[in-house]
Amino acid sequence: MQRVFSGIQPSGVPTLGNYLGAIRNWVPMQDTHESIFCVVDQHAITMWQDPKELTRQTREMAAALLACGLDPARCILFVQSHVHAHTRLAWIFNCVARIGWLNRMTQFKDKAGKDRENASGGLYVYPNLMAADIHAYHATRVPVGDDQRQHLELANDIAGKFNHDYGVEFFPNIEPHIMGVAARVMSLRDGTKKMSKSDPSDQSRINMTDDAETISLKIRRAKTDPEPLPSEVAGLEGRPEARNLVGILAAITDRMPEDVLREHGGQGFGTFKGVLADALVAHLSPIAAEMRRLLDDPGAVDALLRKGADRAREIADPIVARAEELVGFLPPR
């Protein structure tokens, strides 16, 4: 069975973008693949995180994943910093990856912004740690949103150079798995920006913890244009906000945007937003309720994560120990 690995940062409350672009697609993989999912707290601190918030958000992200349907009986779910194999392999990859490769990473450019001198070293080598996350398990299939494609290409370049430099066929090639209809959910305030947990405006996103009233209000206030909805997808050209809302309804009701427009084409946004808000509330309310139930007993969530880390270590430790041996480190025992 092919091994799947994916990760998600606990850098905020998970959003509808994380859900439709990532989490939801992980759920069915548990039945078809050996699945490993990780809350990547070490990636999160590449940007400043308040320590108390980081702890809370790590647990909250794990609860969200469980509430969305990740099942510890069918997958391994754990926290990155609990399994030291990741950073051990990341150090080796820091020495394999070339600076020229890292300089091409668009996520670094986006996140570092204008003040690049002041970005953390961790943000710069972020993709090397991500490559280590995956290769520490010899995972070959990695489901992510479209924004992570470049990092997966880098992870393959790193594996290729490691294998070449050490004359081995040790790290396998990764098959990127770029997900779904709503591969990119955009901000509710600006249809050209992706919906993000780190956007300063809470109005720009639907959080997985939002209650029905908040969801309805955010959708009602979402930016749109004055035209009614077109009846064909071509009519969404140049209308990023309309395209985004149609995409969200399509994703949440398991349809194609064409089908949504066949039903709602010609409608004004007033009507359409009502339908969209109802669909979102119906889909998300049970998930939010399950999250609250899990977070009422944080000790139980932590215990699940510890068990997950034990299982992850069993796979990753021997692989990373072998990589260290290939590099020529004196065996520690």
What amino acid positions are annotated as catalytic residues?
A: 111, 194, 197
> Is residue 93 within 8 Å of residue 332, measured between CB atoms?
no
> Is residue 29 within 8 Å of residue 77, measured between CB atoms?
no
> Is residue 295 within 8 Å of residue 61, measured between CB atoms?
no
**Which of residues 22 and 63 has its CB atom nearest to ligand TRP in the complex?**
22
Q: What is the SS3 assignment for 89-158?
A: HHHHHHHHCCHHHHHCCHHHHHHHCCCHHHCCHHHHHHHHHHHHHHHCCCCCEEEECHHHHHHHHHHHHH
Please tell me whether residue 147 binds ligand AMP under the rule CB under 6 A: yes
Please tell me whether residue 8 binds ligand AMP under the rule CB under 6 A: yes
Show the binding pattern over residues 122-141: x = contacts ligand AMP (CB under 6 A), - = does not: --------------------
Q: Least separation, in Å, of the C-beta of 326 and ligand AMP? A: 30
The span from the CA of 83 to the CA of 276, in Å, is 41
> Is residue 195 within 8 Å of residue 188, measured between CB atoms?
yes
For ligand TRP, the binding residues in 80-139 under the rule CB under 6 A are 130, 133-134
Q: Least separation, in Å, of the C-beta of 141 and ligand AMP? A: 13
Please tell me whether residue 145 binds ligand AMP under the rule CB under 6 A: yes
- CA 257 → CA 162, 181, 196, 321, 325, distances in Å? 43, 8, 22, 48, 51
**Which of residues 172 and 298 has its CB atom nearest to ligand TRP in the complex?**
172
**Which of residues 8 and 76 has its CB atom nearest to ligand AMP in the complex?**
8
Please tell me whether residue 144 binds ligand TRP under the rule CB under 6 A: yes
Q: Of the listed pieces 108-116, 117-125, 142-150, 207-215, which binds ligand TRP according to CB under 6 A?
A: 142-150
Q: Least separation, in Å, of the C-beta of 149 and ligand TRP? A: 11
5 binds, options ligand AMP, ligand TRP, none, Cβ within 5 to 8 A by partner type = ligand TRP
φ, ψ dihedrals at 211, nearest 5°: -85, 175
φ, ψ dihedrals at 179, nearest 5°: -100, 140
Q: Which residues sit at the interface with ligand TRP, rule CB under 6 A? A: 5-9, 40, 43, 130, 133-134, 142, 144, 148, 151
Q: Which residues sit at the interface with ligand AMP, rule CB under 6 A? A: 8-9, 17-18, 21-22, 144-145, 147-148, 184-185, 194-197
